[in-house]
Chains A and B, each alone.
Chain A
Amino acid sequence: MADSIFIAVTIGFFALSVAYTYGCEKLRGGRQ
């Protein structure tokens, strides 16, 4: 159970980091 939580949390963090990457790219496209 605890292992599943930490694995899910890890995958979730990196998934959010990918979204953050494209968010930064969108900010560039939107402002220039």
Chain B
Amino acid sequence: MTALATLQIAVYFGILLLITKPLGSYMARVFEGERTPLHRGLGWLERGTYRVLGVDPEKDMKWTTYAVAMLMFSLISMLFTYAALRLQGFLPLNPQHFGGKQMTPDLAFNTAASFTANTNWQSHSPDVTVSYFSNMVALAIHNWASAAVGIAIAMAVIRGFSRKSASGVGNFWADMVRGALYVLLPISIVGALMFVAMGVPQNFDPYTTVTTLEGAKQTIALGPVASQEVIKQLGTNGGGFFNANSAHPFENPSAVSSFFTVLLIWSIPAALTHTFGKMVGNAKQGWALFGAMAAMALAGAVITSAAEQAGTPHLDSAHIETAATALQPGGSMEGKEVRFGIAASALFATVTTGASCGAVNAMHDSFTPLGGLVPLFNMLTGEVIFGGVGAGLYGMIMFAVLAVFIAGLMVGRTPEYLGKKIERFEVQMAMLAALVLAASVLGFTALSSTVDLPKEGALAAVNTWPGSAYGGSDTVYGAATGNLNNGGPHGFSEIFYTYASATGNNGSAFAGITANTPWYNTTIGFAMLIGRFLMIVPLLAMAGALARKAPVPASSGTFPTDTPTFAALLVGVVVIVGALTYFPGLSLGPIVEHFRMHALATH
């Protein structure tokens, strides 16, 4: 690792630490229903929204009511997006005249599921598929709503611990509105203006055609990029306005914007740990979670940066200088953001996969096996390394419940967390949430590694749906592995990464798989829905059960959960659960590829 890489990582974590306390305290006030300075300007909008929706924000919901409200909201918004995408040819703000031909039914399902589930996986190239209207209304609505839903669920889970003998976990609509109005909106307005100042476009102009120095014609895509960019990163959504995502100079024009971007991604997830501490009445509890997340984040950034800076034996055997010098970055620059170098690409990859963001400023498919293993592992552990907005916190609380249970088994401590006894039901729900993710990742990876779509028979009909642009094209028949850019272990990694990204609601792609086919669009769509909603429901059930309980006083058998020891135990549980579940898959992919690379294998 170079001194510059060390400096970048140190400065990044330093600033993140500085943001955590003030933003976390502010969010605690917002979600406890207290007045903040922003209520003076936005209070009328909050009250007006409740009036229009017919919602009483003071009405507490049982966890089942809370869950059903969240599910119904997600269903309706997903159907709205599906319809808007399919009908974009008849809707305004479409100077490129994109229509249903570009947005096929399976792609619309995939895209609607993706944005509803805060994943923003894009099987398509947005700059040649999606109209401005689709971008600004059908998709952007989810950039706000899915982020607000994530924060709302985290609040409900926190209340499971902070409330005593209560029947409810809060009001879903109030949590959503407050998250969108008082947290996402103000930061997005300031952030969008900052992006514009850095050179990100914000306009409704049609694409511009220019003549290059060689005399060729080139189309330059434009649009309302800055306003989309900020919520894409802040809401850990990750879907790019352009296909190249944050490697596109209009999304990410400079090293400063790249640094600002990675700060936006982890700002709310990191601050939510402090919100948690404040709401449960012990800030040290939040710092314990922050410490566990930061330790894993730091390890990931250092490993990725070091692995990429070390280069590959192939470069050495070709007598290519891989040392960093004053004139060259050294290491493996393939697929990296050449404007910013290895460290900024490695840090971006770690942050975007630790969160459920999925924005990329480098092609993860081109990373060395160990450098690519870190983003993959970040997603497989459930994206709890700060994680998605809200999703990272409730995922980490799931692991905290498992940690106190395991501590109880290992050292005979009473299984309690924050004064609430952890009993059979809570552990069942935490395990159900963990197992749903594993079943989706491993099940869909196994299916796509083996499925062979026949040209004749029932499955073949899937490829010739009326209205499909595929028109029975041969590219959608045959083995699903035929859509990979690589064979062998790297090809397996491409499939594994795809379903890890989809189930973890990350959305980043290894970029080595052609996923815009009916098979991949449909299965990835399901993986995203399962990873989002079938994980949230058991965690809300756990919160509901915990809220009902009266706290028990701490005793000599209580395992303190606000100490570095607990943070270390938590890291151990996350890593061990992740390793036990996914080690066979990782062995077949990046681990074997690492050894083959050192044997100078070329494919």
Contacts and interface: CB of A to CB of B under 8 A. Distances in A.
B71 A18 contact: yes
A7 B465 CA distance: 14
B217 interface: no
Contacts of B64: 21-22, 25
Nearest to B108: A6
Given A2-B465, A3-B467, A32-B423, A14 B106 contact: no
Given A1-B466, A1-B467, A20 B534 contact: yes
Contacts of A11: 75, 79
B105 A2 contact: yes
A6 B106 contact: yes
B500 interface: no
A22 to B, nearest CB: 7
Contacts of A5: 105, 465
A11 B113 CA distance: 12
B424 A13 contact: no
Nearest to A32: B425
B71 A21 contact: yes
A11 to B, nearest CB: 7
B99 to A, nearest CB: 14
Contacts of B423: 32
Contacts of A2: 104-106, 465-468
A17 B69 CA distance: 12
Contacts of B529: 13
B428 interface: yes
Contacts of A31: 424-425
A31 B106 CA distance: 41
A18 B68 CA distance: 6
Nearest to B86: A3
A27 B105 contact: no
Interface in B59-80: 63-64, 67-68, 71-72, 74-75, 78-79
A interface secondary structure, majority: helix
Contacts of B79: 7, 10-11
A6 B64 CA distance: 27
Nearest to B113: A10
A17 B82 CA distance: 19
B541 interface: yes
B466 A24 contact: no
A17 B71 contact: yes
Contacts of B86: 3
A24 to B, nearest CB: 4
B266 interface: no
Contacts of B526: 13
Contacts of A13: 526, 529, 533
B109 A28 contact: no
B538 A24 contact: yes
Interface of A: 1-3, 5-7, 9-11, 13-14, 17-18, 20-22, 24-25, 27-28, 31-32
Query: Can you list the 10 inter-chain pairs with the closest CB atoms, starting with the nearest?
Result: A2-B465, A2-B105, A24-B541, A14-B75, A6-B109, A21-B67, A28-B425, A1-B466, A17-B533, A21-B537
19 contacts: A1-B465, A1-B467, A2-B466, A2-B467, A3-B467, A6-B82, A6-B106, A10-B75, A10-B82, A14-B71, A14-B72, A14-B75, A14-B533, A17-B71, A18-B68, A20-B534, A21-B541, A24-B537, A27-B541
Interface of B: 63-64, 67-68, 71-72, 74-75, 78-79, 82, 86, 104-106, 108-109, 112-113, 423-425, 428-429, 432, 465-468, 526, 529, 533-534, 537-538, 540-541, 544-545
Given A3-B467, A13-B533, 12 more contacts: A2-B104, A2-B466, A5-B465, A6-B82, A7-B82, A10-B78, A10-B79, A10-B109, A13-B529, A14-B74, A18-B68, A20-B534
